Structure 1
Amino acid sequence: MTAILGHAEQLSDNIRPSDPRASDLACIRDAAQLAAALTEQLLAVSRRQTRKPTVVNLNDCVDRARGVLHRLAGDGIAFEIRLDAALKHARVDAEQIEQVLLNLVVNAQDAMPSGGALTVETRNVTLDETVAVIDSEVGRGSRFGVCFPATDDVSTGVIAHGGAPEEHIGSATVLLFENDQAVRTLVRDVLRRRGCDLLVASSPAEAMKFAAEHRAPIDLLIAEPATGPERDSEIVDAVCRWRPEMRVLYLEKPFTPDALARKVRAVLAAA
């Protein structure tokens, strides 16, 4: 999913919205996003993964899922989205909110096999805690609401897809150690386009060779986090012994090109 999403984002930067291929590309990206979100949910259950809520505007969550929601609703349902422009921020896990939206739309579609109307709406209400509201009446339909406490904290944002200009990172030298060839290619292309010099290693031996023999400083090591055997972690430790001044960024998947660039820039800025 990481490679599909990443390359779809790269293509989006080079295709105008009026291009007939843009809608096909959007379908690919939306399907990959949905698959990635479902995968993350399964991993969260299997690993008992702890979510990390951030401050977001829920309108951004709905906007990000808009394309997938429209396609899930289907042609037989009059689908509408109403967003409150004055909506306050909330501290939530954005991916889980998108999953709630997906589940609600799928259930609504199943409940209206002959067609109907479906509205997703955001608005401010006066409540003191997170609650779920369910209101159903035969002949009139059902209303499901999920309410979250508002916060005055500044939004950390939701990743937007496509259309944003690339931000230059700078002339940093990055050692990339990644087993997946498709992901290696994606990371290499994303960072080179943003001004970085890449040393690409597909094996522990290559990573060690770059660390030992590269004559110039290496600013950053990007590697997979160790999820099973600690072999990759041991390789990272060995590489860092050769380059103690080098920063390390563990590559969490899935990611988008812009998200990767932001993380790399943040790690380098903290050096």
Structure 2
Amino acid sequence: MNESSHLPPSCDSALLASILALAPLSVIGWDSSNRIVIWNAEAERMLGWVASDVLGKSAPFPMVEMADGDRPREITRSTRVGGIAQLSVQLQHISHDAASAAIVEIGTDLGDRKRLERQVVQGVKLDAVSRLAGGIAHDFNNILAAIKCSCELLSESLEPDDARTVDVRAISDASARAAELTRRLLAFTRQQVLLPHTVDLNAVARDAESMLIGITGDGVALTLDLTSEQIHVRADSTQIEQALIHLVVNSRESTPAGGRITLSTGMGPLERDPTGGEVPIIAASYGWLTVGDTGRGIPRELHGRIFEPFFTTKERGTGTGLGLSAVFGIVKQSGGYIFVQSEVGRGASFTIYLPLVAAPAKPPRVVHYERTSSGSTPTILLVEDETTLRGLMRRILERSGYTVLEAAHGAQALEKCELHEGAIDLVVSDIEMPTMGGREMAQRMRMLRPNSQLLFVSGFTDDEAMRQGIVSTGSAYLQKPFAPALLVAKIAEMLKAPVGKLELPAL
């Protein structure tokens, strides 16, 4: 495409100017002296220089050289403001005559395509990490649940002055710390069960203030700068508070004594990435919550990595690299965004944006269940694929006075329902199981046992519909690992509920 083209002498210059102005491609031309003779509006948009800055002058950047058999090629070019434009360009020689010969470069802006490619690659990478981390967290939570239940059962069998109670307590404390790590993993992978409701971000910040002051200590001042208006968003207030804790801990660790951490709120429209980055935004009105500090700051080259799991700038052995990734997961699962703005030596600000809601939602409806075996020992169907944990849970429930039926997965549970002649008051079930999971089992069980209640216990679920179904029923979920006392209390609460219409999770 390097053959010369000729413009007809009768071509109207105004028409040609209009075509160049409306062209969705950059058009740049230069003569044999390398002076710019053509510079259209799209070239101005892509590169920043207006026509009056460049026409008749040498180009402010290296020009692409003409080649035989010239074909489109991808290049990068500096812009007026110091940025980098990514282009696909092709050259052509044009002339009216020898005196007016010029080389014209036609350019396509590749910026949007390249950004989309990077987002896809990043999304695939994070999805792979999420699946790996979620699977590990699920299996690990089953192990921790068994350890936690075993510790409590062992502790109950020991006398208070038995020296072994110290060892049991140490094991229990270690399992609690491990459980916190898995919770952070689940937060990042967005596989937690959240209980969203309408909350005021200012109220969340005020409620967390005393706890946050305990984190910052005496050496770093904590200041609240909250808007006077209520900021209503739909979120799980406990998880937003947890995100605040992670952010303040992160700020405290980077802020020297005498520094300051500020927690501020506000609301307004958000249409694009406020940092000038490439994050696609759903334009709407958002409430925001910022944790800013006067610490050492974060190098710009690390901004794109700080939310990755296990990434940390701390010394080896002093950080897990899961705090900020957990915040990222909580915010994304809540339908929001989080951005960081920081420079070395100038502190850092992390801002959470959550969509505003028009008014507080109605209070959660109370779910009532119908007891079918009043006056007799309640029967519980326990569905859990982890053999060790299922055995421990059975011991706990039988010690609490319940009759327990066991199943290793959903299909076996349905078989038990068909064969058991008496009532089944409550089904305690894991969600992720081989052969048949909790979702399908619950749907079929509704037909077999319409009066049986359902309590899900799980380390996570990767089924969004299941998560939403659990949320809609209020209190039909227990997070693994759990203390035996909490399991017993939850079951007692459900079985003592007033008689009313049965409502299983809306799957």
Q: TM-score per shorter chain, which class?
A: 0.5 to 0.7
Q: 1:204 deviation in Å?
A: 3.6
Q: 1:92 deviation in Å?
A: 4.1
Alignment counterpart, residue 171 of structure 2, candidates 24, 28, 34: 28
Alignment counterpart, residue 451 of structure 2, candidates 245, 260, 271: 245
What amino acid does structure 2 have at the position aligned with 1:177? Answer: V
1:25-64 equivalences under 5 Å are 25-47=168-190, 49=192, 51-52=194-195
Quick check: which has more Rg, 1 or 2?
A: 2
SS in 1 for 2:185: helix
In structure 2, the partner of 1:79 is none
1:81-92 equivalences under 5 Å are 92=238
What amino acid does structure 2 have at the position aligned with 1:178? Answer: E
CA deviation vs aligned residue, 1:93-133 (integer Å, no higher than 9, x gap): 599389759x68x969xx9xxxxxxxxxxxxxxx9998869
In 1, Cα distance between equivalents of 2:167 and 2:397: 26
SS in 1 for 2:157: coil
In structure 1, the partner of 2:493 is 266
1:50-199 equivalences under 5 Å are 51-52=194-195, 92-93=238-239, 96=242, 100=246, 171-199=377-405
- TM-score normalised over the length of structure 2: 0.33
SS in 1 for 2:174: helix
In 2, Cα distance between equivalents of 1:227 and 1:205: 10
Q: Is the 8 A contact 1:37 1:95 kept in 2?
A: no
Alignment counterpart, residue 214 of structure 1, candidates 404, 420, 427: 420
Q: 1:223 deviation in Å?
A: 0.9
Q: 1:240 deviation in Å?
A: 3.0
Would the alpha carbon gap of residues 178 and 234 (structure 1) be closer, same or farther in structure 2, given more than 3 Å must change? Answer: same
CA deviation vs aligned residue, 1:175-228 (integer Å, no higher than 9, x gap): 111111122112111111100000011144431222111111111111112599
Greater helix share, structure number = 1
Q: Which runs of 5+ in 1 are unaligned?
A: 62-90, 112-126, 137-169
Instruction: Give the fraction of aligned pairs with identical amino acids, expressed as a percent.
Output: 30
Q: 1:16 deviation in Å?
A: 3.0
SS in 2 for 1:251: strand
What amino acid does structure 2 have at the position aligned with 1:171? Answer: T
Q: Is the 8 A contact 1:43 1:49 kept in 2?
A: yes
Larger RCO (alpha carbons 8 Å, 6+ apart)? 1
Q: Is the 8 A contact 1:6 1:186 kept in 2?
A: yes
CA deviation vs aligned residue, 1:2-40 (integer Å, no higher than 9, x gap): 111111111122223321111111110011000011101
Would the alpha carbon gap of residues 204 and 53 (structure 1) be closer, same or farther in structure 2, given more than 3 Å must change? Answer: closer
In 2, Cα distance between equivalents of 1:28 and 1:42: 21
Q: Is the 8 A contact 1:175 1:221 kept in 2?
A: yes
In 2, Cα distance between equivalents of 1:94 and 1:182: 34
SS in 2 for 1:221: strand
Q: 1:251 deviation in Å?
A: 1.1
Q: Is the 8 A contact 1:53 1:94 kept in 2?
A: no
What amino acid does structure 2 have at the position aligned with 1:268? Answer: L
Equivalent residue pairs, number = 205
In structure 2, the partner of 1:73 is none
Would the alpha carbon gap of residues 218 and 39 (structure 1) be closer, same or farther in structure 2, given more than 3 Å must change? Answer: same
Q: Is the 8 A contact 1:223 1:236 kept in 2?
A: no
SS in 1 for 2:482: coil
Would the alpha carbon gap of residues 26 and 98 (structure 1) be closer, same or farther in structure 2, given more than 3 Å must change? Answer: farther
What amino acid does structure 2 have at the position aligned with 1:173? Answer: T
In 2, Cα distance between equivalents of 1:29 and 1:171: 31
